[in-house]
Structure formats: structure tokens, C-alpha cells
Structure 1
Amino acid sequence: MPWRAMEPDHLPGVRGIADRVHLNYPEDEAVFSERLELYPEGCFVLERAPDGLAGYIISHPWHFKKPPALNVLLGAVAEPASTYYIHDIALLPEARSNGSASEAVLKLVRHAKKARFPNLSLVAVNNSVKFWEGHAFRTLDDADLNEKLASYDARAKYMVLELT
């Protein structure tokens, strides 16, 4: 199942995946729609034939150590940006354990390097820290981030991959 560019008609399917995968982190479809509109080159879907989507990626340039709060519209992509932010990589349970998530991470790393970002960053939720650590991301502990991370939950971690 290859990753391909997200299109506006994918948004209901993206929302359906988010509703299944991120029960404790709900976001309005407007958040997904805005990210796609603002930075389409960072949005992808994983199709599952013949009945729809199996996963999605949403990512965009942003400000380092300033992750957007959960379920908040951006208004604009950061300029200048100091990180390539992974808003979400979500896969349905039946689409996991086949390398698709790792392929998504590599796709985003290549994009960030090509665009000359100094790093990638994200907020890890749903006990995903080990997955991200397996891709060389590290947790960044910073008291100033606590307020932003609180919109997710007490276990959310801000993680960074430095690009050299």
C-alpha cells in the first residue's frame, strides 16, 4: 500500500481514521482541512483497496518548541519556520506492523532534509514514544512546553530528530 498525496475528498476518511485511532485526542475536520490547504506537500494518505483509507500523514513547517495545541487552527504556516512538524501519522490497527509507519517517517525525513529544515519535531501520544525513539527521535524535556502539551494529556512528549 503506497503513500500518496492527500486530496480534499480524502478528508472524511482521514477524520474517520482519526476518530478510531485518537479517541482521546479529538480534532475537528477543519483542522485536517486547513493543514491540507496550507501545506499539501506534507499531507498523504495510505489507501487500502478497494474500500478506502488505511492511514494518513499530516505535517508542515512550524516553530521549534512551540507545538500547536490540540484541535487549533494555524491560520498560516510558520515563516520563517524552525522545524518540520509532524502533526500526525495515523494508521488503522489492521494496517500496522507492515512497515508503512516507518516508510512514512522516512518520507518526512527526506522531505525535511531536502527543504533544509534543521530538525523534525512532534508530540508523541498513544504510547508512541518507543516507536519514535526507534527512528532516532529523542524526548525534549522543557518546562516551557508543559502548557502546550497539557492540551494533549499528561503523558504527551515533545520529541525531536536533529538533521545534520
Structure 2
Amino acid sequence: MTDAVRVRPLADGDWDAVVELERDAYGGLGLSEGRAALQSRAAVSPDTCFVVDVGARTAGYVLALPYPPRRYPDLAGTEEATAGHPPGNLHLHDIVVAPGLRRRGLARHLLHHLTATARARGDERISLVAVGGTERFWSARGFVAEPGVVPVGEYGGGAVYMSGPVPAARQTPAPTVLSPSAPTLREVS
């Protein structure tokens, strides 16, 4: 991939691309929600919804919103604009990358951006509902299944509620600074 990759806030002009990506990802599972539901989720928490661009193309998106632990959006409805929940748990509702651009690290870019956002908001956990057999993918990223939260048949067959702690910020080691009087390796040897 030679085009620049950029994660940015979801904008009004992105909705056609987001709706198409969502339909392609979830339509075959019978889980496509449609524009009104997607927009209602983003309206509740616009600061936690992003797209990833590859060059000039919208290549993927993430929709996340604050939700109490062990609860999740109803696929059959829209969110109330006033239904915002306090920080603590950020629910990752959708993360989608265009089929031709998968396995190139774009979902990782979105997830890292979302994790940094959750940390900055003061969230302690991120939750999601794994659908379409993605439980193993999410387990490898630190999410733990919580069986019995999602009723059988809701969110499709085999859907599993999962959550994980918001990881601490990665610490980069401070550069080693030698004082003018400190010996160098050559002087010591």
C-alpha cells in the first residue's frame, strides 16, 4: 500500500461510503442496520467515531459510543440523542475495512486510535459484540467473552459479548543522554 493512511473523525460527507461499507460487511449476516441507525449511533458520541482513509478513498470506519457494561445497542432501533452514558465503558459497535483492503493493518490503525481516544476520555473498558465468527480475532486482542449477555439469535447466530481493559499508554524509553564527562564505550574498553 503506497497511499497515505490517515484516521480522522467521521464527517457528514462520509455517510455514503460508511453505509456501503456497513452493508457489504454485515448484509450477508442479516445484520445491516441502515443509514438512520448508524447516524444515530454516531450522533450520540461523534468524538468516538472515525474513518480511515487510504489516499483519497474512505477505506473503513469505526463507530463507538459510551454504553454501560454488559449492555449494547439494539440493532432494530436508533439511539436517542440524549442517551449518552458517562465514561467508563466505550462500546465498539462497528469496525469495518473495505474487502479489498483487509489484512493491511487498517483495522489496527482504527483500533489503536479508538483505544487512545478511550484512554483520553477516562474509559476503563472497551466492549463489543463479536459477530460472524470473530470471537477468536477479538480474543487475540485482549477481549474476553462474557457468555449469556447476548440472547441467542440476537446479533445473528453465535454472537458473543466481549470486553477488555483499555490498555495503558505505551511508554517509549527516554533517550539516553550522556553528560560531557561520562565515558563512552570506547573510553571504557
Give the TM-score normalised by structure 1: 0.88
Distance 1:73 1:106 in 2: 27
Aligned-partner SS, 2:150: helix
Match of 2:146 among 137, 140, 154: 140
Map of 1:70 onto structure 2: 75
Map of 1:89 onto structure 2: 95
Distance 1:46 1:38 in 2: 20
Q: CA deviation at 1:10?
A: 0.6
Distance 2:6 2:102 in 1: 13
Q: 5+ residue gaps in structure 2?
A: 168-189
More helix, by proportion? 1
Distance 2:79 2:105 in 1: 31
Aligned-partner SS, 2:79: coil
Match of 1:27 among 33, 36, 50: 33
Q: CA deviation at 1:135?
A: 1.2
Q: CA deviation at 1:34?
A: 1.5
Q: 5+ residue gaps in structure 1?
A: none
Distance 2:89 2:113 in 1: 16
Match of 1:17 among 17, 21, 31: 21
Q: Report if the CA contact (8 A) 2:150-2:160 is conserved.
A: no
Larger radius of gyration: 2
Amino acid at match of 1:152: Y
Q: CA deviation at 1:82?
A: 4.0
Q: CA deviation at 1:104?
A: 1.4
Comparing 6-15 with 109-118, greater Cα deviation is found at 109-118
Distance 2:58 2:96 in 1: 11
Map of 2:171 onto structure 1: none
Q: Report if the CA contact (8 A) 1:5-1:44 is conserved.
A: yes
Task: Report whether the alignment pairs 1:131 with 2:137.
Answer: yes
Greater relative contact order, per chain length (Cα 8 Å cut-off, separation 6+):
1
Aligned-partner SS, 1:150: coil
Task: Report whether the alignment pairs 1:4 with 2:20.
Answer: no
Q: CA deviation at 1:121?
A: 0.1
Q: Report if the CA contact (8 A) 1:118-1:162 is conserved.
A: yes
Distance 1:77 1:110 in 2: 23
Q: Report if the CA contact (8 A) 1:61-1:77 is conserved.
A: no
Q: Percent identity?
A: 23
Amino acid at match of 1:158: Y
1:97-137 CA-to-partner distances (Å, cap 9, x unmatched) read 11111121121111112211121000011222122112111
Q: CA deviation at 1:81?
A: 4.7
Aligned-partner SS, 1:87: strand
Q: Report if the CA contact (8 A) 2:42-2:65 is conserved.
A: no
